[in-house]
Amino acid sequence: MNVKVDRINSELQRQISIIISEDIKDPRIGTAIISVTKVKTTPDLKYAKVYISVYTKDNNKEQQKESFDTVVRSALYIRNALKTRVKIRNIPELNFVLDTVEEEGSRIDEILRGLNIPPADEDNK
């Protein structure tokens, strides 16, 4: 991939994380912890897919959805805030995606732990 785009992705990820954690003071987010896991910008820098994970107490799905929707509704605010923080000609249009990779990994680990597989014999190696 292009080194310039990689640097921009990294900076956008860092700045969006700061904006979400420090600037957005919406009570609908509540106690949720929102993490920007990855940003993928198109080569022409017009669009950016922003992957976010939402962690809530007791893994409350309803609270996660509400927090995610609040971030999505704040996309224009976040994009405008980026204009003063990131020095590129045009700030890409932000498209937020809920990143569930970690949640899926935890679910797979749980399934694997539930399987009754005997340990491998050392003699069979």
> H helices of 86-124, where?
101-114
Q: Is residue 121 part of a domain?
A: no
Helices (H) and strands (E) in the chain, counts: 4, 3
Q: Is residue 10 part of a domain?
A: yes
The CATH number linked to 67 is 3.30.300.20
Number of domains within the chain: 1
User: Residues 6-28: pLDDT tens digits?
Assistant: 999 999 999 999 999 888 887 77
The residue ranges of the chain whose pLDDT is under 70 are 1, 101-105, 122-125
Asked whether the beta carbons of 48 and 42 are under 8 A apart, the reply is yes
Asked whether the beta carbons of 90 and 45 are under 8 A apart, the reply is yes
pTM of the model: 0.77
Q: Which domain holds residue 91?
A: 3-115
Q: Is residue 13 part of a domain?
A: yes
DSSP code of residue 20 = I
Residues, the chain, total? 125
